[in-house]
Amino acid sequence: MDVFDLDVRRHVYFSIVASGRAPNAEEAADALGCDRPAVEASFRRLHDAHALVLFPSSTEIWMANPFCFAPTPHSVEAGGRTWTGACAWDALGIPGALHGDGRVRSECACCGEPVTLEVQDGALVEGAELLVHILVPAREWWSDIGFT
Amino acid sequence: MVYLRSEEHVQRWLDTNGWEPGATITAVQTNELARTWSWSRLDPGWHPRTIEESQAILGGLDLTGEFWSLR
């Protein structure tokens, strides 16, 4: 991964934390002082390297894991904002990435009953009785990162 | 990767959808995994982990065997 792509990725993540949303290619190009096609090409390389996930046939950011920018059942309060986690794992990854406490509000995939998980000082202090199921073996996670 | 309230709910969810079972871990394990996996995402000097580094994180949480193999 070259220096430009690392700069673009760093800008994306810092923008997410600052604004609560992912920048588009034009916004990133303006901030980085380069042109939009260069950023779009970088977004595609970062997607191919699994450092970002773009929506299909688009240069809009779908995920900058653990942050997700499409609706899911996993809502996360952390760092003074409400975020969306792509999956059960990423929802708990958001407090980790922000190095803080967090509360996940989600649902049981079987019965739809609301579930809450709370992280304090890195430990799960609510929701410890819950289980997480992973359907797809690890080597195939990136075959379809939206379905794991 | 989804939350489920019990082993019974895991099995019912798999049966309802006609899916083969993958791996079930506890929310406590998931929190440890997620925290370790995501901890450096916002570091200014972040660089991609190697497969070996990622595998070591899984192994450090006793997530081993064929299902958890990244290769």
Q: Would you call A6 and B31 a contact, using CB atoms and an 8 Å cutoff?
A: no
Helix (H) or strand (E) holding A63: strand A61-64
Residue A85's DSSP bridge partners are A67, A74
Q: Would you call B46 and A6 a contact, using CB atoms and an 8 Å cutoff?
A: yes
- Give tens-digit pLDDT for B14-65: 999 999 999 999 999 999 999 999 999 999 999 999 999 999 999 999 999 9
Q: Confirm or reject contact between B43 and chain A (CB < 8 A).
A: no
Q: Would you call B25 and A124 a contact, using CB atoms and an 8 Å cutoff?
A: no
Share of chain A above pLDDT 90, in %: 93
Cβ-contact A55, A69 below 8 angstroms: no
Q: Is A148 a residue whose pLDDT tops 70? A: no
Which of B37, B35, B28 lies closest to B68 in space, CA to CA? B37
The answer to whether ipTM exceeds 0.90 is yes
Helix (H) or strand (E) holding B14: helix B7-17
Please list every residue in chain B whose beta carbon sits closer than 8 Å to the beta carbon of residue A88. Answer: 1-3, 30
Q: Which of A48, A134, A141, A144 to mutate to test the interface with B (most CBs of B within 10 A)?
A: A134
- Give tens-digit pLDDT for A52-80: 999 999 999 999 999 999 999 999 999 99
